[in-house]
Structure 1
């Protein structure tokens, strides 16, 4: 990006025309002269505020601007230097929703965060290469969200939510990333993950109409039939859809130098007990956290490693050599089962079945129990979990009841989600495994 300089002084209220839409800065906290530049921000001197360190940078890809220093002035005029924003979180789709809705097409919104509308008043330092020498102590006021701004994801989601609502979609009450459109024979479902959209519909032409309408509002890249999404590979078979993460497993094995390791037939020994007080520390804690984090994401399509991954995840802060040995065994198991995945057949019953169990006082450090459950929709596994309970159970019965409660909560959520999709279940089975 070339440096853009202002050659002459400008009176207050005057604008500097640029490639973008000029907007004037009007704020009683700013004094002196205000200058408007292209690119969606204004500059002005902020009274009583020390602009300090910066974060982010100018990306080489398309010269994308990223926010350097973020300073938020709330609408009530109060500045809190310890909290620079009110809310930044955006909706993230839940894993069971992906399995319940077999999406067909994938679309990507290019530079999505640049379309968000800011609701907070935000100030930032000059972007690199764009400093006004006449007013070097001034700051910028973004008129729209930009990359590097913590409010940008939420602002973009709000903008997309408003557009989809105008298009007659309604947001799901159970999964905020799911949007539903029901109109006569048309049933369309849309899943949002940041700037990616998964679309499925009972009428194929409706998908084309939606993509065309989206393209008029945002720069949409149609990626066609869904084949790869968030590390998940989708294969279309005669009998149904097969989900796997072969490429992701191979990348994990390469990062951990385990490509030539000897395969194993099980991810963890049944009698293994891991403790934070085990043997010597593992020296490369960064590698441990990186590989274990990858294994945690891999369990999206591999419920067979959920229990063992949960065990090693408990030692991210104090990795030992024995913990790394357990991680390597999981990797060796993955090498022997790299082609494993989940098959969703085109025909199946709509009966919910849930299984749950608990390992009473299984942790040698704090004696907390480990709960586990798996939920089937027909013959398809759609939700599962294995995690340590937060409190100590004084009996095996108490541990199992806690596990049963957690499973019931998940079942109620899935039933509510299915009702929103127009599927009403009258047959549900619950099994407590001793």
Structure 2
């Protein structure tokens, strides 16, 4: 890896300011990008001739095996079409289902039930930790191309220290869902733009054990999903507004990192960033610099969002509940809404 890094630097490639494995070379309006991961290189250009020149030069300098249109990188299968790129882990998903003996099990419409609330289940029967952790680890790897299972896998992962039969049943449900959607992946359309926007949401007091809320967010570059997260909050929120406000703060942090640091390396520049939130109280708190009885208990570190709004770095916009895409990363959903939101973030099947 060090040899290839030095070779690129010696040939006038610019190293990313944040991601040190990213190398960029600009020639007038043409752009070439190479990303190095251990002994793999993913590269592309706005000019196909530049791509072939890179292949020729690198092949002379190093031993390289070039994978064609259907390429495998970190278990991902990347298929380029005339109108976009489809990324899937279909083969990995099928092997995962087979590995845990659920290939003949009944499929599920959603990865998590809306009626069952997981808890520590202290009185439940314990199951083998190695098996449970193996399932969680395998599913976490699959979330690279399947954000639709991120929330359910994250919730089940909380119980790895002492898994019970109820937890194992929930993990098996996720695998049964994967079994029925193993050929699904995420679609990236060429018909898009360079505007970065985000959605943030929170499930207030959703954890049955400690009543902590779950923050969720997803971020789009134009029409395409480029980042997402779902995380249990560190402290207990005393209201829905507080939970949503903390989630919005996490969303702002991610937006700033993506635009002000990472995307600048790719040549993207944007003025005010937009974060969509479905809670008006949280939006109003972000615009009000005065501490009062309803907000003075909120940790001061979450109030940095006010400065961002005041300086017009970020604007919080209200979005209707039905259009809140981050719902997919904060709570279990019924089959109809789950499928609608999954399609909205780009999860689909491409024949």
TM-score when scaled to structure 2? 0.74
Once the two structures are superposed, the pairs formed by residues 68-87 of structure 1 within 5 Å of their partners are none
Higher RCO (C-alpha 8 Å, min separation 6): 2
CA positional deviation for 1:427: 6.3
Instruction: Name the residue aligned to 2:346.
Output: none
Distance in 1 between residues matched to 2:54 and 2:82, nearest whole Å: 28
Instruction: Name the residue aligned to 2:8.
Output: 164
Distance in 2 between residues matched to 1:307 and 1:257, nearest whole Å: 23
Q: Choose the corresponding residue for 2:176, options 332, 337, 356.
A: 332
Instruction: Name the residue aligned to 1:372.
Output: 216
Distance in 1 between residues matched to 2:137 and 2:193, nearest whole Å: 35
Gaps of 5+ in 1: 1-155
Distance in 1 between residues matched to 2:5 and 2:212, nearest whole Å: 42
Matched, 1:256 2:117: no
Gaps of 5+ in 2: 280-351
Once the two structures are superposed, the pairs formed by residues 282-321 of structure 1 within 5 Å of their partners are 282-321=126-165
Q: Choose the corresponding residue for 1:247, options 91, 96, 99.
A: 91
Distance in 2 between residues matched to 1:187 and 1:352, nearest whole Å: 20
Residues 254-300 of structure 1: per-residue CA shift (max 9 Å, x gap): 11100000011111112322222344344322121111111111111
Q: Choose the corresponding residue for 1:410, options 254, 261, 264.
A: 254
Question: Highest Rg: 1 or 2?
Answer: 1
Q: 1:418 and 1:231, CA in 2 relative to 1: closer, same or farther beyond 3 A?
A: same
CA positional deviation for 1:352: 2.2
| Pairs aligned (count) | 278
4+ residue segments displaced more than 6 Å = none
Once the two structures are superposed, the pairs formed by residues 108-119 of structure 1 within 5 Å of their partners are none
CA positional deviation for 1:363: 1.5
CA positional deviation for 1:426: 4.3
Instruction: Name the residue aligned to 1:224.
Output: 68
Aligned 8 A contact 2:127 2:168 in 1: no
Distance in 2 between residues matched to 1:254 and 1:221, nearest whole Å: 30
Q: Choose the corresponding residue for 1:420, options 265, 279, 287.
A: 265
Instruction: Name the residue aligned to 2:201.
Output: 357
Instruction: Name the residue aligned to 2:119.
Output: 275
CA positional deviation for 1:355: 1.0
Aligned 8 A contact 2:70 2:79 in 1: no
Once the two structures are superposed, the pairs formed by residues 15-26 of structure 1 within 5 Å of their partners are none
Q: Choose the corresponding residue for 2:187, options 339, 343, 351.
A: 343
Q: Choose the corresponding residue for 2:238, options 394, 412, 420.
A: 394
1:296 counterpart SS class:
helix
Distance in 2 between residues matched to 1:202 and 1:232, nearest whole Å: 22
2:178 counterpart SS class:
helix
Residues 319-344 of structure 1: per-residue CA shift (max 9 Å, x gap): 11100000011111112222221111
Distance in 2 between residues matched to 1:242 and 1:303, nearest whole Å: 14
Higher helix share: 2
Instruction: Name the residue aligned to 2:274.
Output: 429
2:67 counterpart SS class:
strand
